[in-house]
């Protein structure tokens, strides 16, 4: 069984430096879903919406190998330690009776295990432009000599097959407070478009000890045009009425500081206002027509972009 553990760990921990695959939104980890294991439905697993962990697969393998049905959770949510919003994801190492120590693995990909016990990844968050840098706010308390990692892949699907055209990865040691960690992306081709972005986080790369703890929050990426996108579909933002004539009301399901910007079709900024939760924007002085708006967070990451029509 130790051979199986080594194979699984080696596959996952090499994601930052080789070819692997994944899926993601909900970069603020504000929404979670419950997954029930067939062999132990009384102890469900909590998983961030649109993200995957190794927990379901590891617990199922542990059970199928004839070991205990006690559920181990390597990824959980924290409502007390977070960078913003109400929650963050927490990665810790857990010991399985048949697999040994397994680190926490968080990815926006779907995690699969084939008949030869090889881990594979599929899916990802759709993108329409190449990404230059991916970012996340991380807080890390490692065991002695351990390190965490954050890796990213850019996927092309022109022929219906996943091809990795860009990647990047960093390893890190102690991060006493939430720190913005950037991953520059390097591309191996210049002529294929980017279709998906995949993120990988793990709390342990070296000693795989139970005491290494990684908090992950506010995952974003910046396109090569300089636009920063936030994977935060958990924050609902509405602007109404649409069409509008005098006053536009903007609401957000977040207590964080946000910035509303209204643009003309040619890209000229016409209105800006800082707000939290709700604001009203006077548009009575604008001519009839189609306009664009964005809502950004404190790091200038775009949480929403859409159009609004003004009528007279």
Say how many domains are in the chain: 2
Mean model confidence pLDDT for the chain? 85
pLDDT digits (tens, 9 = 90+) for 33-54: 998 887 777 788 889 999 999 8
The domain boundary residue, chosen from 174, 201, 230: 230
Domain that holds residue 291: 237-310
The domain boundary residue, chosen from 192, 215, 230: 230
Higher pLDDT, 1 or 235: 235
Whether residues 81 and 205 share a domain: the answer is yes
Higher pLDDT, 302 or 213: 213
Whether residues 290 and 163 share a domain: the answer is no
Whether the predicted pLDDT of 83 surpasses 70: yes
Weakest-pLDDT range from 55-69, 117-131, 271-285: 55-69
Q: What is the pLDDT of residue 208?
A: 67
Whether residues 224 and 254 share a domain: the answer is no
Higher pLDDT, 5 or 179: 179
Cis omega (within 30 of 0) for bond into 11: no
Pairing mode, if any, of strands 163-172 and 186-187? antiparallel
The domain boundary residue, chosen from 230, 255, 280: 230
Whether residues 264 and 211 share a domain: the answer is no
Residue 69: which pLDDT band, with cuts at 50, 70 and 90? Answer: low
Whether the predicted pLDDT of 295 surpasses 80: yes
Do the Cβ atoms of 307 and 291 come closer than 8 Å? yes
Q: CA 93 to CA 91: how far, in whole Å? A: 7
Whether residues 164 and 296 share a domain: the answer is no
Q: What is the pLDDT of residue 294?
A: 92
Q: What is the pLDDT of residue 233?
A: 58
Whether residues 8 and 30 share a domain: the answer is yes
> Rg of the Cα trace of the chain?
21
Whether residues 212 and 274 share a domain: the answer is no
Whether residues 68 and 212 share a domain: the answer is yes
pLDDT digits (tens, 9 = 90+) for 105-117: 999 998 887 777 7
Whether the predicted pLDDT of 22 surpasses 90: no
Question: Residue 243 belongs to a domain with what CATH number?
Answer: 2.60.40.3080
Nearest to 105 by CA among 114, 94, 117: 94
Q: What is the pLDDT of residue 232?
A: 57
Q: What is the pTM of this model?
A: 0.78
pLDDT digits (tens, 9 = 90+) for 195-236: 999 999 999 987 766 788 999 999 999 988 887 877 755 678
Whether residues 162 and 241 share a domain: the answer is no
Got the DSSP string for the chain? -HHHHHHHHHHHHTGGGS--------TT---EEEEEETTEEEEEEEEETT-EESHHHHHHHHHHTT-------SEEEESSS-SSSS-EEEEE-EEETTTEEE--EEESSEEEE-TT--EEEE--EE-SS-EEEEEEEEEEEPPTT--EEEEEEEEE-TTSS-EEEEEEEEEE--EEEEEEEEEE-EES-SSS---EEEEEEES-SSS--TT-EEEEEEEEEEETTS-EEE--TTS-EEEESSSBSSEEEEEES--S-EEEEEE-TTS-EEEEEEEBSEEEEE-TTSPSEEEEEEEE-TT--EEEEEEEEE--
Nearest to 214 by CA among 128, 150, 257: 150
Q: What is the pLDDT of residue 239?
A: 94
Nearest to 54 by CA among 35, 31, 27: 35
Question: Residue 112 belongs to a domain with what CATH number?
Answer: 2.60.120.260
Whether residues 81 and 129 share a domain: the answer is yes
Q: CA 290 to CA 309: how far, in whole Å? A: 5
């Amino acid at each position: 069984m130790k051979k199986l553990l080594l194979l699984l760990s080696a596959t996952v921990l090499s994601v930052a430096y080789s070819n692997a695959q994944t899926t993601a939104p909900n970069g603020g980890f504000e929404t979670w879903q419950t997954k029930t294991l067939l062999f132990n439905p009384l102890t469900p697993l909590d998983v961030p919406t649109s993200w995957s962990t190794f927990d379901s697969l590891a617990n199922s393998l542990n059970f199928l190998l004839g070991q205990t049905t006690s559920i181990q959770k390597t990824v959980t949510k924290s409502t007390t330690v977070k960078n913003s919003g109400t929650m963050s994801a927490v990665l810790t190492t857990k010991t399985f009776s048949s697999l040994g120590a397994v680190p926490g693995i968080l990815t926006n990909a779907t995690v699969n295990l084939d008949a030869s016990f090889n881990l594979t990844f599929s899916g990802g968050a759709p993108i329409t432009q190449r990404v230059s840098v991916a970012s996340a706010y991380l807080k890390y308390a490692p065991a002695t000599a351990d390190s965490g990692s954050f890796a990213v892949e850019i996927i092309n699907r022109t022929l219906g097959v996943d091809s990795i055209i860009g990647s990047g990865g960093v390893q890190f040691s102690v991060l006493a407070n939430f720190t913005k960690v950037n991953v520059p992306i390097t591309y191996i081709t210049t002529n294929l478009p980017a279709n998906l972005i995949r993120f990988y986080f793990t709390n342990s790369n070296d000693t795989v000890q139970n005491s290494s703890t990684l908090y992950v929050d506010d995952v974003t990426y910046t396109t090569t045009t300089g636009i920063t996108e936030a994977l935060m579909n958990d924050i609902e933002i509405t602007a109404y009425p649409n069409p509008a004539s005098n006053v536009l009301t903007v609401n957000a399901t977040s207590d964080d500081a946000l910035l509303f910007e209204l643009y003309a079709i040619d890209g000229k900024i016409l209105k800006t206002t800082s707000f939290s939760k709700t604001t009203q924007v006077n548009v009575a002085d604008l001519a009839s027509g189609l306009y664009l708006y964005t809502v950004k967070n404190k790091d200038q990451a775009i949480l929403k972009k859409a159009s609004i029509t003004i009528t007279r």
